[in-house]
Structure 1
Amino acid sequence: MTRTESLANRLQEVLLNGRWIANTNYKHQLEDITWEQAIKKVGSLNTIAALTYHVNYYLAGILNVFRGGELEIRDRYSFDLPPICSKEDWDNLVDEFLTNSEAFVLEVSKLPDHKLDMPFVDEKYGTYLRNLEGVIEHCYYHLGQISFLKKLIFA
């Protein structure tokens, strides 16, 4: 197995269908959440919808780079969730998240291994490998938050 295949498998696990590390994944966690639950505030914590948007924001931004575009995402905009006011709004966000997740896994699997050691966009961002490992860690971090929020909301 190549390094990119290994990274793609890890992304597939956290985003779409794995259970090895956290015994869950985003798709599993998001599939039974109503739009009202997705926007429910628990104290000062982010909502499930905000966390879903946040992770999707980064997936979409990096996908743009994979497809030959510029790195246009900025941290300060990563929680700028448009209002979720209906089931349709929530379903659209989840659908976009899952579509981007599938595309992200596919793009990573297509990267040649040597690309992992190359700078990602600019040397100040480190290598492709460093950034992809960061995406995986970032995804697990927020997956834990979503899992915890679900427990609080469903209790």
Structure 2
Amino acid sequence: MSTTSQLAKRFREVLLDGKWIANTNFKDQLSDVTWEQATAKIDSLNTIAMLTFHIDYYVAGLINVFEGGDLEIRDQYSFDLPPIENDEQWETLKNKLWKDAEKFASLLEQIPDAKMNEVFVDEKYDTYLRNIEGMIEHCYYHLGQITLIKKMILLKHK
């Protein structure tokens, strides 16, 4: 299996369908979260909806680069979630993440392995490989947060 196919598999695992590393994934964790739970604020923590938006923001930004565009995303905007005020808006956000995650993985599978060691956009961003591995790690980091925040919300409402 090629390096890019392996990376795409790992990416799908954390977002869409895996259980190997964390025994869960984004889709599994968010499947039963209501929009009220997704927007519930626990102390100074980010909301589940904000973390969902945050991950999709970066996924979509890298898709743009994979498709030949510029790296237009900026950290300062990565939590600029528009208000979620109903179930339809929450479902739209989740569905965008699922669609973007699959597109990211599919585009990644098409990248030749040789490109993995090339500079990603600018030397300051290192290589394609480091950025893709970083994206996977970033997703697991926030998956852990979502899992804990979800548990806190459920305990609070028992």
Which bracket does the TM-score occupy, shorter chain normalised? over 0.9
Q: Distance in 1 between matches of 2:12 and 2:24?
A: 12
Instruction: Give 1:22-101 correspondences, 5 Å limit.
Output: 22-101=22-101
Counting aligned pairs with the same residue, the percent is 59
Alignment-mate amino acid for residue 114 of structure 2: H
Alignment-mate amino acid for residue 126 of structure 2: G
Equivalent pairs counted in the alignment come to: 155
Matched, 1:139 2:131: no
Task: Give the TM-score, by structure 2 length.
Answer: 0.97
Alignment-mate amino acid for residue 30 of structure 1: L
Gaps of 5+ in 2: none
Q: Name the Cα RMSD after superposition.
A: 0.5
Q: Distance in 1 between matches of 2:67 and 2:108?
A: 11
**Post-superposition shift, 1:48?**
0.1
Gaps of 5+ in 1: none
**Post-superposition shift, 1:110?**
1.0
Alignment-mate amino acid for residue 41 of structure 1: K
Task: Give the TM-score, by structure 1 length.
Answer: 0.99
Alignment-mate amino acid for residue 52 of structure 2: T
Q: Distance in 2 between matches of 1:17 and 1:84?
A: 25
Structure 1 stretches of 4+ with a deviation exceeding 4 A read: none
